[in-house]
Amino acid sequence: MAQKKGSRVSEDAEVLREVPLQAVLLADSFAQKFRPITLERPKVLLPLVNVPMIDYTLAWLESVGVEEVFIFCCAHSKLVVDYLDSSQWARQPSFLVQKIESHDSTSAGDALRRIYDLNVIRGDFILVSGDTVSNMCLTQALKEHKERRKKDMLAVMTMVIKQSKPSSLTHQTRLGNDELLMAIDPETKQLLYYEDKADHSKGLISLDKMLLAANPAVYLHNDMQDCYIDICSPEVLSLFTDNFDYQHLRRHFVKGLLVDDVMGYKIFTHEIHSSYAARIDNFRSYDTVSKDILHRWTYPFVPDVQFSGNCPIIKLDRRGMYRAPDVTQSRSALVGPFTLVGKGTTIGDNTTITNSVIREGCTIGCNVSIEGSYIWKNVTIQDDCKLSHAIVCDGVVIKTGSVLEPGVILSFKVVVGQQFAVPAYSKVSLLPQPVKQDSDEELEYADSGSGFVESSAITSASDVANGEFNSKSSTNSERWGTSEVGVSGAGYIWSVCEGGLEEEWRHSVAPIPADKLAEFSPKCSC
């Protein structure tokens, strides 16, 4: 490892007192888990209970006293910048939003090295991604971090964690992530070991005996959730700059520091209990966090509170249903609790909607069943359709009698033909599936490298706001002929990558299938 460069931050006490609380927000996940949707729209602008994801993160940062936030934009950077410039965040006098665009950063490490080069961070800062939802107060965590830094300048990071017991069968958390194994000093809260890819097949874990010998007490946890909210010293940026092999925040940086005995840098943890914090890493966590928002665990960041200028007007009724103005609902239609229906939506006779989110301008026909699904803007669902645990993006048309099996993803402007059943876990897009899976416009990090492909599927931030798209792939029936999604349909069904079938159901919005749970259950020895 290269030696650490000198800190650029002034040690003068007067200067340090004047440094505002800063944050770095990564507006790119550097992952591919939201494909094919993110080929056409940046992940941070995807609607989360009808509000762009990034608004939750920015509203929280503002609420905890952050005065200046640097938003690092990679994938679809123009769309993100245009959205921010047209939003309330561009007009907050005590909350300065600075945009940083990059077209060649392929990882979180690249992003942090770029920020170091810009020399804009002047003290301890908050590091968070734009897909994070939280209502925690940072006061105590910041206090602990600063007090540790006064005593030990090698204490460079404090990670926020929260108890979250994983499934004893699947070793998976409710957010769809693998079980996390952490070793923590119970007295100092120092992080000693971090493993998010543990092999549970043998029921054993392997720890360095020196870790146990060097620490009088070590607590092993498999019931903690990493909230991906970090309080960092400026040295974190210089460490990324000195080590170009650091790409991933956890896999490379955190694990790298934990095994480095030469430099001696330390990472500590701060556990939250009653507060909420979660990152949307995959479709299952999208579903989980959406339901948490509807159940008000994220208060005050809930649908009926105008926590940002981009929040639609929503009212909560006594039955726990969220409804916007100008909803037209048949008297025979049934909308259950913990469901949200957006402005201008119409719902036909004998239709049932439960545990779902419906955005603005949707037309839902008669005898339709929608369960546990997310219907985005200007979607048309004709009569006698059945949707179960699906995500349906803007402008989609689902024709009469069609069925979406659990886990289906329909990207923008897809058309499902009449009486067609879309198989479970299918992902359908007007864009053909890329031949090279790690080459897309998202600039997302992958172990084998990443590429850059320019896309013109969406041309402006107003397109994002209005649900309008200029896809090169036409929905004209002549263009599609015999479609993969039924007669007069439009869209390509993406194939599952080799070895990716298990990931599909693990990361899906659909509940884990009963047959999969049965496979994990201990076999009876009679």
Q: Residue 374's CB: how many other CB atoms inside 10 A?
A: 27
Q: How far apart are CA 159 and CA 397, in angstroms?
A: 44
Question: pLDDT: is 231 or 457 the higher one?
Answer: 231
Q: What pLDDT, on a 0 to 100 scale, did the predictor assign at position 513?
A: 77
DSSP letters spanning 190-237: BEEEEESS---TTS-----HHHHHH-S--EEESSEEEEEEEEE-THHH
35/380: higher pLDDT: 380
Mean pLDDT of 500-524: 73
In the prediction, which pLDDT does 12 show?
A: 47
Centroid of chain to Cα 437: 20
| From-to residues of CATH 3.90.550.10 in the chain | 13-294
Quote the CA–CA distance of 308 and 390 in Å, as a whole number.
27
Higher pLDDT, 340 or 519: 340
pLDDT of 363 strictly over 90? yes
Residues of the chain with CATH 2.160.10.10: 315-430+474-519
* Count of CB atoms situated within 10 Å of the CB of 499: 7
| Residue 160: band (very low, low, confident or very high) from pLDDT cuts 50, 70, 90 | very high
DSSP 8-class letter at 512? P
What CATH number labels 315-430+474-519? 2.160.10.10
Give the model's pLDDT for residue 475.
Answer: 43
What sign has the CA pseudo-torsion 239, 241, 244, 247? positive
Q: Over the stretch 232-285, which tens digit does the pLDDT of each residue have?
A: 999 999 888 887 777 788 888 888 888 887 788 999 999 999 899 999 989 999
Other CB atoms within 10 Å distance of the CB of residue 155: 22
Q: What is the reported pLDDT for 20?
A: 87
Cα–Cα distance for residue pair 145/155, rounded to 1 Å: 8
- 167-189: buried (b, 16+ CB within 10 Å) or exposed (e) per residue? eeebbbbbbbbbbbbbbbbeebb
Rounded Cα distance between 112 and 119, Å, is: 11
Bin 481: left if φ > 0, else alpha if -120 < ψ < 50, else beta: left
pTM (2 decimals)? 0.86
pLDDT digits (tens, 9 = 90+) for 475-489: 444 455 457 888 888
The pLDDT confidence band at residue 57, using thresholds 50, 70 and 90, is very high
Structure tokens at 288: 């989980």
pLDDT over threshold 50, residue 402? yes
The superfamily CATH assigns to domain 13-294 is: Spore Coat Polysaccharide Biosynthesis Protein SpsA; Chain A (3.90.550.10)
Tens of pLDDT, residue by residue over 173-228, are 777 777 788 999 999 999 998 988 765 555 667 777 777 777 788 888 888 899 99
DSSP 390-426: -EE-TT-EE-TT-EE-TT-EE-TT-EEPTT-EEPTT-
